[in-house]
Amino acid sequence: MASITQKALIFLCCIISFDTVYGQLGFCEGDLGDPIFTEDFGSGTTNGPPLDPSITTYTYVDSGPEDGFYTISSQLQQLGAFHSGLDNTPGDVDGRAFIVNASFTADQFYNRTIEGLCENTSYEFSAFLINLYNISSGECPNTGIPVNVRFQIWDSTDTILLASGDTGDIDGTATPIWAQYGLVFETGVGQTEVILKMINNGNGGCGNDLAIDDIVFRACGDITTIRSDVSGEEDLIICNNQTALSTTLTVAATPDVFIQWQESTDGENWTNILGATSVTYVTPSISTSTFYRVNTATDTDNLGNVFCSFFSNSYRIEFIEGPEAPVSNGDIAACENIEIPALTVTTTQGSEVRWYASETSTEVLATGTSYTTEEAGTFYAQSFIAGTDCGSTSRTPVMLSFLEAPFFANPLETLEICNEQEVKTLSAGISNVDYVWSTGETTSSIQITTGGVYTVTVTNNLGCSATKTFQVEGLASPVISTIFSAGENIIIETENEGNFEYSLDGIFYRSTPVFRNVPGGLKVIFARNDTGCPPILIEFYHFNIPTFFTPNNDGINDFFRLPDASFFSSSFIRVFDRFGKLLANGNGRTFQWNGVYNGEELAPDDYWYEITIDDRVVVGHISLLR
């Protein structure tokens, strides 16, 4: 590569014109033979050795080739503006490439004779090429002078051009990019060697630096694809535990092509099949994995010559080891009243399971290691190599049966109970089973006295269970907080709320807790809810004490006395004014007071009384009205 100033002058001022004839590059669209010629320029950590002088007129240097010079190296970066990288050959340790710095004028930089070709045969030439200029270096304007190479194939006399093609402009890049270019040509009668030429179409200067690697010549034929009467173009997979079989292979070929079928056990080492020279080949019964392909040529003498014939794609009949039959995880006997569990099996890794209704059925019921069905019976699981129809030689039976379970016609029953006032019996209603109640009892029935949720689980001799629930609503009875007399009336008060009703005789009930105009004496109060629960009974002394009297001698309520005093075994009354002065007293049965003290009528007012009835004392007041 010239100096920066020199290159800039060349690039800007000294553009030399030349004839441009573009040919057609392309690759073989059919089958390829083995390489006749390969040039990868060897390997090693040092540069060289130089090419034979007959191959290039460029000058060899150990490193840093300038315009019109070249080197052979495993390192692309021979100058600072070149890409840093390796050759193109895959897996080639310290592989070398042909590194060229184009001369200032367009010229030929490679010329080589290729021998060993066959006459009347198509060939593909290919080579990998890279523009070495790294635009990140910034040494050249823009992307530098592009690389543009013409490939030419001449006959051995160097007078007949068989094929030609140009790469077109290949600009510099920021990263190294190898690209493959190809050219297809055909030899004529008597032509067994050709001349390969590479010509630099562009001028040298800042850029136009390239490397060539992996030059290959191979025979090119028509596309031949093998098809099987069993699987088409797809490889055929057969379980090696199945009966060996024969299959018919067919290949499409032009009428003027000669054919030889070949077979291989590894896909690499091939042998001809004696007598198999037609487009159709019927294989023998096969019991091991075998590869097949066809070798084609335009001349029968070229069959078997890897430099003059072509090979189709390989077709593989593969025998694979069938998996072991799956292992059952056990038959299932399920109670008929529970969710049906899945039938399950275990198989080896990489296998899949298919379920069938019988040992010979072809209909797949389900896939996977588990299968759920609502029908009792025996079902069969078979293992397969995943993604294939290669199955185990036997199927594994797994049985599903149903067990009779206890049955409650009414699994939820709603009841009512008078809390703490009655005893109710809850019965499972099923015999010959074991019982477990939510209360912990294990009898067929239990007795309860309060509401709540009760359950009983019954289990038969098969181990199947069923549960019944009793939702018992507890009906509350009234809780009496107090009963008191208000004159001739009896008033009842409760601590709780509810639809309660009351009675003084236990026969006739009312919803209001007040009884009016009741004679005094010992009473029995009946109280219950209105749902018919038994009543509660409370004894109560009703003191029928008047609240006022009017001593005006009209014969109506002229005296303060204790009505119904005869109901009590003993009673005694005292009357006081508001200051506690005793105004009158006497036996309750005979006592009456007209509001007079010491012969004088007392003024209207409220006066207090203290009445002792049997062993009880009642204190209150009465109004004197005039």
| Residues of the chain predicted below pLDDT 50 | 1-23
Among residues 220, 251, 268, the one where a domain terminates is: 220
Asked whether residue 116 falls in the same domain as residue 140, the answer is yes
Question: What CATH code is carried by the domain that includes residue 110?
Answer: 2.60.120.260
Question: pLDDT at position 457, please?
Answer: 97
Is residue 146 classed as helix, strand or coil in its secondary structure? Answer: coil
Question: pLDDT at position 244, please?
Answer: 63
Question: pLDDT at position 419, please?
Answer: 86
Among residues 357, 378, 403, the one where a domain terminates is: 403
Spatial distance between the Cα atoms of 171 and 274, rounded to a whole number of angstroms: 54
Asked whether residue 61 falls in the same domain as residue 157, the answer is yes
| Cα distances (angstroms) measured from residue 579 to each of 281, 413, 576, 611 | 141, 68, 7, 18
Asked whether residue 265 falls in the same domain as residue 295, the answer is yes
Spatial distance between the Cα atoms of 148 and 20, rounded to a whole number of angstroms: 11
582-587 and 596-597 strand pairing = unpaired
Predicted TM-score of the model (pTM): 0.49
Residue 543 neighbours by CB distance under 10 Å: 23
Asked whether residue 34 falls in the same domain as residue 56, the answer is yes
445-448 and 424-427 strand pairing = antiparallel
Eight-state DSSP code of residue 136: G
Answer yes or no: are the C-beta atoms of 601 and 566 closer than 8 Å: no
- 186 φ, ψ to 5°? -135, 135
Residues spanned by the domain of 534: 480-542
Question: pLDDT at position 312, please?
Answer: 85
Asked whether residue 290 falls in the same domain as residue 201, the answer is no
Asked whether residue 537 falls in the same domain as residue 565, the answer is no
Asked whether residue 418 falls in the same domain as residue 517, the answer is no
Closest CA to 112 of 24, 217, 201: 217
Question: What CATH code is carried by the domain that includes residue 618?
Answer: 2.60.40
Count of domains forming the chain: 6
Question: What CATH code is carried by the domain that includes residue 367?
Answer: 2.60.40.10
Asked whether residue 500 falls in the same domain as residue 617, the answer is no
Spatial distance between the Cα atoms of 342 and 374, rounded to a whole number of angstroms: 10
Asked whether residue 169 falls in the same domain as residue 96, the answer is yes
Asked whether residue 394 falls in the same domain as residue 418, the answer is no
Asked whether residue 434 falls in the same domain as residue 451, the answer is yes
Closest CA to 78 of 134, 39, 147: 134
Asked whether residue 37 falls in the same domain as residue 179, the answer is yes
Among residues 188, 220, 252, the one where a domain terminates is: 220
Residue identified by tokens 């309520």 is 557
